[in-house]
């Protein structure tokens, strides 16, 4: 599990680890749709507001 911050409300979000770039998740705090992107040249993921 990895922790990230919501790009809209900065709430702490915990991802299970099975998410892939292109997946969409929902912030349970602000109800925003968040898209997952891969950071080029890294194993890290980036969360971006999809609204």
Q: What sign for the dihedral angle of Cα 51, 7, 29, 24?
A: positive
Domains in the chain, number: 1
Rounded CA-CA distance 42/29 in Å is 28
Q: State the pLDDT confidence band at 42, using cuts at 50, 70 and 90.
A: confident
Q: State the pLDDT confidence band at 49, using cuts at 50, 70 and 90.
A: very high
The 3-state DSSP class for residue 33 equals strand
* C-beta of residue 43 within 8 angstroms of C-beta of residue 28: no
CATH number of the domain encompassing residue 34: 2.20.28
Beta-bridge mates of residue 8: none
Rounded CA-CA distance 18/37 in Å is 13
* C-beta of residue 29 within 8 angstroms of C-beta of residue 10: no
- Mean pLDDT (the chain, rounded): 92
Average pLDDT on 22-36 reads 95
Question: Residue 31: what pLDDT?
Answer: 95
Quick one: what percent of the chain has pLDDT higher than 70?
A: 100
Q: Which domain holds residue 18?
A: 2-49
């Amino acid at each position: 599990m990895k922790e990230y911050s919501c790009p809209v409300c900065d709430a702490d979000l915990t991802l299970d680890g099975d998410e892939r770039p292109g997946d969409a998740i929902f912030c349970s705090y602000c109800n925003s749709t968040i898209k997952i992107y891969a950071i080029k040249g890294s194993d890290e993921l980036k969360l971006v507001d999809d609204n």
